[in-house]
Amino acid sequence: MTPTTRRKFLGLAAAVVVTGAGGCAIGGADNNSSESSSSKSAPPLDKSRTLVAYFSVPETDDPDDMTEDEANSTHVVDGEVIGNTQYVAQLIGQRTGAELFRIETARELPRDHGRLEEIALDLQDAGARPKLKALIPNLDDYDTVFIGYPIWWYDLPMPLYTFLEEHDFSGKNIILFSTHGGSRLSGTDDAIAEALPDATVMDNALSISRDDMDGAETEVRDWLAGLS
């Protein structure tokens, strides 16, 4: 078999990119989170005016005989395999009554861990902005938007940059949550605050390790209780 080269991976990455420039922690472990310098607290949540938007790429949908990488990126609920970040988003939605919106690329990303890891790095190296499957159709209806994502290579997944740049979050309250494999927030809270200067990005982001997903329900409950 011909070995896969970086050029071939760049070609594959280009298929999901418009312009260049799941809860798995792709290439991101054992790094410390940075703390935001702001001290903003969330206002009371109106469920009818609150949205939970999240990006999650579970690396399998088969609950049986998972590899370690597949298990790291997923959580099984009543026999259904979902991504770690998706699971946290669902918990937030259940407790707040907020609607959910899944951030997806127009061209589906691979589930294979090795390919996904390579593509994620190539997209990051290129400063790429992958085209999204859809944008939030009714963003004006919401005052508060939770934004959730995994840490990929110590940064936001590049589709998140597309998401941030293609929506107008002016005047919105933004609350962040993330899943990781050891890198915690890895400065992504500051990156989002910088990308959304006209929004109010709260400084009490939730960061949950893939190793702590069994306790995520309690973590989300306590975090939400402390937001206001």
Please give the Cα distance from 162 to 126 (Å, whole number): 13
pLDDT, residue 126, reads 98
Summarised one tens digit per residue, pLDDT across range 126-138 is 999 999 999 999 9
Q: Per-residue pLDDT for 33 more than 90?
A: no
Strand duo 80-83 + 17-19: pairing: unpaired
How would residue 175 be classed by pLDDT, with cut points 50, 70 and 90?
very high
Give yes or no for residue 118 having a pLDDT over 90. yes
Q: What per-residue confidence (pLDDT) applies to 170?
A: 98
Band of residue 40 on the pLDDT scale cut at 50, 70, 90: low
Across residues 44-71, what is the average pLDDT? Answer: 90
- Please state whether beta strands 129-130 and 74-77 pair in parallel, antiparallel, or not at all (unpaired): unpaired
Q: Where are the domains of the chain?
A: 23-104+133-225
Tell me the CATH architecture of domain 23-104+133-225: 3-Layer(aba) Sandwich (3.40)
pLDDT greater than 80 at residue 31? no
Q: CA-to-CA distance for 176 and 130, rounded, in angstroms?
A: 21
Q: Which residue has the higher pLDDT, 45 or 35?
A: 45
Q: Give the per-residue pLDDT at 37.
A: 35
Q: Which of 164, 145, 163 is nearest to 96 (CA)?
A: 145
Mean pLDDT within 191-202: 97
Average pLDDT, the chain: 85
Question: pTM for the full model?
Answer: 0.84
